[in-house]
Amino acid sequence: MSATPESDKQNLTLPPDFDVSRIRETYAAVSFTALGIFLVRESGATVRINSEYWASNTLAVAIGHDRSRILSFGTNGLFIVDLARGSWRKLTSDFWGTAHGAIAARARGARKLNNPDAESEPSESVVVFGSSGVFKVNPFDGSHVKLVGGSWVTLGIAFPCPSLPQDVAVILTATGSWLFNITDGSYTKHSNSAMWPTARVMISSSDRETATVLSSSGSYILNLSDGSYRQTANSASWPRVKAALLLNEKDALVFNQDCSYAFNMLDGGYSKSIVSESWLTLASVCDLGPNAGVACRMPLDSNATGYGGH
């Protein structure tokens, strides 16, 4: 479908010391909530940069070579939040309320832009997984085409994966783990795919050879090459986790309903974050860290009782 002209840009209230060139060193994520948009530090501390209602925007992914621009998908349209320019605007009024996962990827051989005024890479597209199919979205104007049909209620996405072909992502759903080609839409199940009816979120490791799956029945290490898995040494139940993101080789930040946790990727241990806030109004989290450019919607309550993905 084609995009239509939308509203003018609105300003963000960025902190005085905000430096977009150091954004990935200073902040771990951007959160969209019913109370506004917040920059999130590794400690769990937040800085509000917008005070409007964003609870309908349930998926957000970083785009551009420096990942300083964010596509936010919601029931009332598609928005772009530009941290480099300190502004946001609506791209289209298309309904994206059933979007569950996204991958921002440049075409093979594409060069990075040195133009700070460019809103995204000219060859970049965003692949969006939803309950009505998989779509390729143009981040310039929001236009999109369907890549493949089916219902894709994603719980986790890993991309790129060094042990897999360049265009292949690992998609975790309640019904198994899948190898999905983001160029042509072809897919197949992992050779050792297992059901994941209680999975909540997935955190790709820094080398993207494995990922940690947090579920209401424990935490597990998933092999991204074949879908095999094992329980972590310190496995705990995570029935109320809303989102999680990798900070470095060892550490991750986990957003629970009532607080945030520092999570150890090596053994599954965890502790309450230094600054721990309630995330009850959280609608979506945009990762700015090592896994920036990949996003999943927060888990639906029904996922914990076996509601499907593909």
Position 30 scores a pLDDT of 98
pLDDT at residue 167 is higher than 50: yes
The mean per-residue pLDDT over the stretch 202-206 comes to 97
**305: pLDDT strictly greater than 50:** no
Q: How confident is the model at residue 62 (pLDDT cuts 50, 70, 90)?
A: very high
In this prediction, residues 176-197 reach a mean pLDDT of: 96
pLDDT at 303 over 80: no
Mean pLDDT of the 38-49 span: 94
pLDDT for the residue 277? 78
The mean pLDDT value for 169-180 works out to 97
What percent of the chain has pLDDT above 90? 81
Supply the pLDDT for residue 114.
41
Domains of the chain: 10-305 (2.120.10.30)
Q: What is the DSSP letter of 64?
A: S
How many C-beta neighbours within 10 Å does residue 57 have? Answer: 26
Higher pLDDT pick, 151 / 116: 151
Q: What is the pLDDT confidence band of residue 7, given thresholds at 50, 70 and 90?
A: low
Predicted confidence at residue 301, as pLDDT, reads 62
Task: Please give the Cα distance from 290 to 25 (Å, whole number).
Answer: 11
Nearest CA-CA partner of 201 in 265, 139, 245, 140: 245
Radius of gyration of the chain (CA): 18
Please list, in sequence order, all residues whose beta carbon lies within 8 angstroms of the beta carbon of residue 302, skipping any fewer than 6 positions away: none
pLDDT averaged over every residue in the chain: 89
What would the mean pLDDT of 172-197 be, rounded to a whole number?
A: 96
Q: What number is the average pLDDT over the span 101-128?
A: 64
Helices (DSSP H) in the chain: which residue ranges? 23-26
| pTM, two decimal places | 0.89
Distance CA 214, CA 236 (A): 8
* pLDDT computed for residue 123 by the predictor: 62
pLDDT in the model for residue 8: 76
In this prediction, residue 1 has a pLDDT band, given cuts at 50, 70 and 90, of: very low
Q: What is the pLDDT of residue 10?
A: 95
Confidence at residue 185, expressed as pLDDT on a 0 to 100 scale: 96
Cα 231 to Cα 68, 77, 222, 234, distances in angstroms: 35, 40, 9, 8
